[in-house]
Amino acid sequence: MIITCPNCNKQFKIDNSLIPDEGRDLQCGSCNHIWFYKIEEENNEVLKLKEEIVIKEIEIKDKNKKEKIEEKIKPIEKINTEINNKKKEKILENQKKETSSKKIENKESKFFSYLIVFIISFVALIILLDTLKTPLINVFPGLEIILFNLFETLQDIKLFIIDLF
């Protein structure tokens, strides 16, 4: 039980078994005031009732606070979901725009990629034919006229391109 000094209002926790039913003298540890203390059963019961009431009031206040918090959270959640939905819609629109532009870029880039591969392959074939011209003419004698005409045509194309610039 908790006992309060009547002089300085300091509170002490004391075991009930230390105070007999007829009461006893107590001395305050802070101000050394001495007074007679007797346990009154009526006061203990009132305190217990009051404690229960206080506990119930605290529980009711706690519930009210939780309800208020929930009421405040619901509109915030609605706003957050609306904002998230708008963001998702914008992201989807941007992705659609990007995919359509990527498709156009992919078509253009594929064409240029194929063109570059074709040009490199053609140049490699010409270099290979020029390198192996003599052995090929020995095996295929009619190939000499065709290769000569091919190289002359390539020289003409080269001069034409240089003249364009």
The pTM of this model reads: 0.34
pLDDT of residue 42: 42
More reliable by pLDDT, 93 or 164? 164
Confidence (pLDDT) at 118:
94
Cβ–Cβ under 8 Å, residues 10 and 28: yes
Q: What pLDDT does 105 receive?
A: 64
pLDDT value for 48: 53
| pLDDT for 65 | 77
Least confident of 1-5, 7-11, 51-55: 51-55
Average pLDDT of the residues in 1-24 = 85
Output the pLDDT for position 53. Answer: 66
Integer CA distances (angstroms), 141 to 123, 126, 129, 134, 152, in order: 24, 19, 14, 10, 18
Which of 90, 2, 11, 15 is CA-nearest to residue 51? 2
Q: Model confidence over 68-126: pLDDT tens digits?
A: 777 777 777 777 777 878 888 888 887 777 776 666 666 777 888 899 999 999 989 98
CB 40 within 8 A of CB 66: no
List pLDDT tens digits, range 27-68.
888 888 998 888 875 454 555 555 566 677 777 877 777 777
Q: Is the pLDDT of residue 155 over 60?
A: yes
Q: Where along the chain do its domains lie?
A: 1-39, 44-119, 132-165
Cβ proximity of 5 and 12 under 8 Å: yes
pLDDT for residue 159: 94
